[in-house]
Amino acid sequence: MIGNAIIDIWLSEGVGPVVKYEDDCNIYRIPVSNGPFKNGTHQYAYDKHEAGCRISSLRVPWHEEEGDPDFLFTQVYIGFFWDLPNRSVSLPPAKLVVVRERLRIFLDRYEGHQCLLREVDRIHGTLCHIAFVYLDGRSRLASLSNFAASFKGDEHILQYSLKSMISDLKWWPEALSEPTPHIRVLRPHGPLKDMHIYVDASTSWGIGIIIGDAWAAFRLKDNWKIPGRDICWLEALAIELLLYILEARRLHDADLLVHSDSEGAIGAFEKGRCPNWHINLVLRRSFPVMSRLSISPSLRYIESAKNPADPISRGLLRSPISKISIPVNIPPKILDILTYV
């Protein structure tokens, strides 16, 4: 509350915008037409010293080693390296070293051995944090969070680490050791775009997708049903297939409204992970597609009775005039259980 009050006072003194997360605080400045402080061709109303003077009477005990003495276009904030001109975020080299070492120690100590809840929580918190940059890693957090939940809050018992969790953890060191820095580009998507997109699935027939006045249908083969593959998995698979269609249409840099009548599939995509292993595989394939296209599907629930994709998922097909061509980049494993109609 004290930190938030400081920001309110700063803003009232004409310093802003200001961002704060827990005890990390950063101030910024915007060029003005006639300011006393110059940097290149731009003029500003304050520099770092002047900004501090405007709240000096508060006697804020700023950390001596944190923060930058000047306004910079690249900076480290909340453990991330922000490149403002290029609108990108990555992990600082020092942070990469720390996380890789933390993973190495955990795997060396606990692969095939027992561990405490606090050790699981520590590595889980670290990976949840950096998943903001490494979006593909979000689908590799479910096994870790599920294992943590199995302790039921008991901080004293020991449990053997799960093979699925160890397998997911081993993905991270490789991802964090890429020869070129992994960068998440922050592109403006503009306003939410409604292309009248609807997806649906049924265990009795297959998957239906509608984009505007065009449709696509995928019929299930007899070998689709195995333990863990249920209606929620099919609904998530429908969203994955939609992404391949959007990729084939060369759609990118967009925030798209997508309607689905599955709250489970919507929740899995919003969280980026799911306890169901098969749904987690759908997410692992889907997030790289969304990342390279810079597409953010805004999933919205719609009742089955109002979902126009519902009849298609049950085999009631529309006119072939508006049929969507099958994308060539659908993984073969998916086409092993589906037939494009």
79 is a domain residue: no
327: cis peptide before it, omega within 30°?
A: no
Query: How many Å apart are CA 47 and CA 45, to the nearest integer?
Result: 7
* 235 lies in the same domain as 329: yes
Query: How many Å apart are CA 130 and CA 90, to the nearest integer?
Result: 9
pLDDT grade for 139, boundaries at 50, 70 and 90: confident
81 is a domain residue: no
| Relative orientation angle of helices 263-271 and 277-293, to the nearest 10 degrees | 60
* 205 lies in the same domain as 327: yes
88 is a domain residue: no
291 is a domain residue: yes
Query: How many Å apart are CA 258 and CA 163, to the nearest integer?
Result: 35
* 154 lies in the same domain as 205: no
Sheet holding 80-83, edge to edge: 74-77, 80-83, 88-90, 183-185
* 200 lies in the same domain as 322: yes
* 334 lies in the same domain as 205: yes
Query: What is the mean predicted confidence (pLDDT) over 196-213?
Result: 96
* 331 lies in the same domain as 224: yes
* 112 lies in the same domain as 162: yes
* pLDDT for position 319: 65
84 is a domain residue: no
Q: How many domains does the chain have?
A: 3
* 198 lies in the same domain as 169: no
pLDDT grade for 292, boundaries at 50, 70 and 90: confident
* 220 lies in the same domain as 308: yes
- Boundary of a domain, candidates 42, 72, 102: 72
- Boundary of a domain, candidates 19, 38, 72: 72
290 is a domain residue: yes
* pLDDT for position 323: 84
pLDDT digits (tens, 9 = 90+) for 146-184: 899 999 999 999 999 999 899 999 999 999 998 888 999
- Boundary of a domain, candidates 20, 42, 72: 72
Position 320 pLDDT exceeds 60: no
> Which CATH number covers residue 200?
3.30.420.10
226 is a domain residue: yes
Yes or no: say if 174 and 128 are a contact pair by the CB < 8 Å rule: no
* 179 lies in the same domain as 198: no
For the residues of 46-92, what is the DSSP string, one character each?
--HHHHHHTTGGG-----SSSS-SS--SEEEETTEEEETTTTEEE--
* 245 lies in the same domain as 167: no
* 245 lies in the same domain as 312: yes
What residue numbers bound the domain in which 231 lies?
193-340
